[in-house]
Amino acid sequence: MSAHPAHEKSVHPVDEKLPALKMATSGLQHVAAMYAGVVAPPLIVGAAVGLSGTDLTFLTGACLFTAGLATFLQTLGIWKIGARLPFVNGVTFAGVAPMTAIVASAKDKSDALPMIFGAVIVAGLLGFLAAPVFCKAVRFFPPVVTGTVITLIGVSLLPVAFNWAQGPDPAAHDYGSTTNLALAGLTLLIVLLLRRFTRGFVKQIAVLLGLVAGTLMAIPFGVTDFDPVAKADLVGFPTPFHFGAPQFHIAAILSMCVVMVVSMTESTADMLALGEIVERPADERTIAAGLRADTLGSALSPVFNGFMCSAFAQNIGLVAMTRIRSRFVVAAGGGFLVLMGLCPMAASLIAVVPRPVLGGAGVVLFGSVAASGIQTLVRAGLERDNNVLIVAVSLAVGIIPITAPGFYHAFPETARIVLDSGISTGCVTAVLLNLVFNHLGRDPEAADVTHPMESGEELAPAH
């Protein structure tokens, strides 16, 4: 018989409130694990728009602030909103390529961010309404689909890292210089060495430490600019609609709706995985509540100048490694994100990091996304010819905008916003091919895929 009182067993580890110091340090570790992932999208989109250093700092701070709010929704929850699991939310990578396509399509760059914000608001609200239905349609998003999409996300973002490695301005005389490439290579090397030879917290923040080390190495070469920090305020607030009132363009909305489907699919898979790790399996009700938090957080985010929010898979790995399963720890991390968003000086620190240094870290960051997609594909049952065809064609369609940027030049400009996003076209292709090959015309009793966490092999028939 256990010596512990019965009431101590009544609190599930997910609902456990830890001592304040452990709560704070563990929460900071979650922030460190996802910080680079949160600030990368605003950096990419902000650079595409041509924002000044001050506005880029503002956009980065806004994304940190909204990531904190979305994390609160997911971990603490209100009503039927929030999975109430140790789930970190932040800006999704899936939206980066479509958003840059929207920027490229805007005749006036000052309209680009309002177009993106309007599209995200609509996609978020539609996703919120669709959450109860979507959680029942998970069987149409097996690993063969989710793995293909996640792989495409990483592959689509790698060219961004390569461009960063060469420098901030393609027209500059030192673009692609040996100095810039050396800084990128050394940053990459530092991250790899830290990942290989360190443990625990230091290993988790290897990318962050690599950025710091790379920035320090860049100072003697005169490519580090501290003006954004000098000009930033200590305290600030992400003024609603700072970049203008949202604009609603049908092509942009369709593009972000596709991203919302991708985001909801990833979040569903992540909830199923996290539920197993914390020993509180995610049922349909939990998934629906989690998707409501994702989508509502996304719809509210543009009000404060943030982008679409989704689950951060790297933090699930952190929960598995540390075995700290309390959702309040992750909520504490959300609190730190909000505080960082309210301190422009803290947000401006990332603007100091030279682009080549970001490029070196980006190779690891974006490559890891592609690798996680490949890991998902391993569970997809690729020994089956049908799944091989689905992956092959979907990847081919998805990388068209990367390998042949002018492929869709004859299409209308509104259509190109969707077509020039390899993630969007690859996702749609994978879903349709999966329906054709694995669902239509098949005996329901022989269905071999039920949800994204199962390989599709030897599963019991759905009840």
| SS3 assignment for the chain | CCCCCHHHHCCCHHHCCCCHHHHHHHHHHHHHHHHHHHHHHHHHHHHHHCCCHHHHHHHHHHHHHHHHHHHHHHHCCECCECCCCCCCEEECHHHHHHHHHHHHHCCCHHHHHHHHHHHHHHHHHHHHHHHHHHCCCHHHCCHHHHHHHHHHHHHHHHHHHHHHHHCCCCCCCCCCCHHHHHHHHHHHHHHHHHHHHCCHHHHHCHHHHHHHHHHHHHHHHCCCCCHHHHHCCCCCCCCCCCCCCCCCCHHHHHHHHHHHHHHHHHHHHHHHHHHHHCCCCCCHHHHHHHHHHHHHHHHHHHHHCCCCEEECHHHHHHHHHHCCCCHHHHHHHHHHHHHHHCCHHHHHHHHHCCHHHHHHHHHHHHHHHHHHHHHHHHCCCCCCHHHHHHHHHHHHHHCHHHHCCCCCCCCCHHHHHHHCCHHHHHHHHHHHHHHHHHCCCCCHHHCCCCCCCCCCCCCCCCC
pLDDT score, position 448: 46
Q: Which of 28, 256, 34 is nearest to 123 (CA)?
A: 256
252-303 pLDDT, tens digit per residue, is: 898 899 888 878 877 887 787 787 778 787 788 888 999 999 999 999 999 9
Flag whether 29 is in a domain: yes
pLDDT score, position 322: 66
Residue 2's alpha-carbon distances to 8, 76, 278, in angstroms, are 11, 31, 22
Flag whether 279 is in a domain: yes
Is the pLDDT at 304 greater than 90? The verdict is yes
Flag whether 463 is in a domain: no
The structure tokens listed for 156 are: 């689509």
**Sign, Cα dihedral of 224, 334, 50, 260:** positive
Is the pLDDT at 129 greater than 80? The verdict is yes
Is the pLDDT at 446 greater than 50? The verdict is no
pLDDT score, position 6: 45
As a dihedral over the C-alpha atoms of residue 34, residue 40, residue 45, residue 46, rounded to 10 degrees, the angle is: 110
- Based on C-alpha coordinates, what's the Rg of the chain? 22
Burial of residue 245 (number of CB atoms within 10 Å: 0-12, 13-18, 19+): exposed
β-strand partners of 310: 90
- Residue 183 belongs to domain spanning: 17-446
pLDDT score, position 38: 84
Q: What is the mean predicted confidence (pLDDT) over 31-39?
A: 75
Give me the number of domains the chain comprises.
1
Cα gap 332→60, rounded to integer Å: 20
Is the pLDDT at 1 greater than 60? The verdict is no
382-440 pLDDT, tens digit per residue, is: 888 889 999 999 999 999 988 998 898 888 766 776 777 787 788 889 989 999 988 77
Model confidence at 120, pLDDT cuts 50, 70, 90, reads very high
pLDDT score, position 142: 80
Model confidence at 7, pLDDT cuts 50, 70, 90, reads very low
Q: Which of 73, 72, 430 is nearest to 262 (CA)?
A: 430
Cα gap 250→212, rounded to integer Å: 41
> Between these two residues, 456 and 206, which has the higher pLDDT value?
206
Is the pLDDT at 10 greater than 80? The verdict is no
363-384 pLDDT, tens digit per residue, is: 887 787 788 788 888 888 888 8
Q: How many CA atoms are closer than 13 Å to the CA of 79, on its beta-carbon side?
A: 4
Flag whether 176 is in a domain: yes
The structure tokens listed for 84 are: 């109430």
Is the pLDDT at 78 greater than 50? The verdict is yes
Flag whether 457 is in a domain: no
| Percent residues over pLDDT 90 in the chain | 25
89-115 pLDDT, tens digit per residue, is: 888 877 887 888 888 888 888 889 999
pLDDT score, position 314: 63
Cα gap 165→360, rounded to integer Å: 6
Model confidence at 444, pLDDT cuts 50, 70, 90, reads very low
Model confidence at 313, pLDDT cuts 50, 70, 90, reads low
Q: With contact defined as beta carbons under 8 Å apart, do 97 and 400 qualify?
A: no
Flag whether 397 is in a domain: yes
> Between these two residues, 425 and 216, which has the higher pLDDT value?
216
Q: With contact defined as beta carbons under 8 Å apart, do 420 and 104 qualify?
A: yes
Flag whether 42 is in a domain: yes
| Percent residues over pLDDT 70 in the chain | 87
Is the pLDDT at 453 greater than 70? The verdict is no
Cα gap 138→149, rounded to integer Å: 15
Cα gap 102→274, rounded to integer Å: 33
Is the pLDDT at 5 greater than 50? The verdict is no
Flag whether 456 is in a domain: no
Model confidence at 201, pLDDT cuts 50, 70, 90, reads low
Q: With contact defined as beta carbons under 8 Å apart, do 433 and 394 qualify?
A: yes
* Mean pLDDT across the chain: 82
